[in-house]
Homo-oligomer: A and B are copies of this chain.
Amino acid sequence: MTQNIAFIGLGNMGGPMAKNLIKNDFKVTVYDLNAHVVADLKAAGANTADNAKAAIKDADVIISMLPNGAIVKSLYIGNNGLINEVKDDVLIIDSSTIAADDARAVAKACERKGIAMIDAPVSGGTAAAEAGTLTFICGGEPAHFEAAKLVLSAMGRHIFHAGASGAGQVAKICNNMLLAIHMVGTAEALNMGAQQGLDPKVMSEIMKASSGNNWSLQVYNPFPGVMPNVPSSNDYQGGFMVDLMSKDLGLSQELAAKSKSATPLGAMATQLYQIHQAAGAGGKDFSSILQLFQKK
């Protein structure tokens, strides 16, 4: 029997994710504050609702993709929180990237009411959202994870169970902090080589075949002209914005403070992106950090 899915939050990521659910024959009801994106989803075959409460009526699964933890908490557990309105056997999947403590607060409130909930932030950008090849990194009860997997498979290729509630957010944020670190490091190495007259293309080939190898070198080279079809070769347009990387790094440093974990390179990457942002680069792709090191 087809599951009813309510999808809340139809931004650059949420929109294409909801469309992939429709393509996979789920019955999807959507809600977003922005009437424009709602209309776009309606055209793609979604039912629409005038508000979140109407959207989740009859939902077997609720998926949310929202900009921050305050909005997620207010949606589910605020004064008019949805967890007072849902069906008893609903499964809530929050795919927003938020602080682990916020995810745990929602999960705890759900648990008290016997409602199934997992945090399931994604890795991979808008292209992966469109292609249905996202990675989902989940936290919550194993049984809830197994149930969520059936739905998430329609939108992603890799679906991981990181641990208990909040663990999805922790693993996602650790991953993105590490991404920022090797992106900055790759930019430093390529820039220093170029300053010494080496060809960034040749250097990239050498380091990819050596111990410096990392995801930035493999699929997202920050040096213009080394790879086609990456933001650095398109004036740092598109991709994953500095503003968004800064948000994720902010979450990483909040988590570091809370868990009393030293993350010196994570902290330094956070600062460098802050400096880059202050210089006006917030809207560029995050691989543009190379420009901070280049002679003007």
Interface residues of A (CB under 8 A from B): 100, 123-124, 135, 137, 158, 160-164, 166-167, 170-171, 174-179, 181-182, 184-186, 188-193, 195-199, 202-203, 205-207, 209-215, 218, 220, 250, 252-257, 259-272, 274-275, 277-280, 292-296
Least CB distance from A184 to B in Å reads 5
Q: Which 7 A-B pairs have the closest CB atoms?
A: A181-B185, A214-B214, A178-B212, A192-B261, A175-B212, A174-B189, A195-B259
Residues of B within 8 A of A185 (CB): 177-178, 181-182, 185, 265-266
**With A181-B181, A257-B253, A261-B274 given, is the CB distance from A163 to B198 under 8 Å?**
yes
Interface secondary structure of A, over-half rule: helix
Residues of B within 8 A of A176 (CB): 211-212
B181-A182 in contact (CB<8A): yes
Q: List 15 A-B contacts (CB under 8 A).
A: A124-B210, A162-B198, A162-B206, A174-B189, A174-B193, A178-B185, A178-B186, A182-B214, A185-B185, A188-B266, A189-B263, A213-B218, A214-B215, A263-B271, A264-B271
Across the interface, do A206 and B271 meet the contact criterion of CB distance under 8 Å?
Answer: no
Q: Tell me if A274 and B262 are in contact (CB < 8 A).
A: yes
Q: How far is the CA of A137 from the CA of B207 in the complex (A)?
A: 10
When the two chains form their complex, are residues A265 and B269 in contact, meaning their CB atoms are under 8 A apart?
Answer: yes
Residue of B215, B260, B268 near A265 (CB, 8 A) is B268
B-side contacts of A197, CB under 8 Å: 163-164, 167
Which residues of chain B are within 8 angstroms of A293 by Cβ–Cβ distance? 261-263, 275, 278
**CB within 8 A of A271: which of B137, B262, B279, B296?**
B262
By the criterion CB–CB under 8 Å, are A207 and B175 in contact?
yes
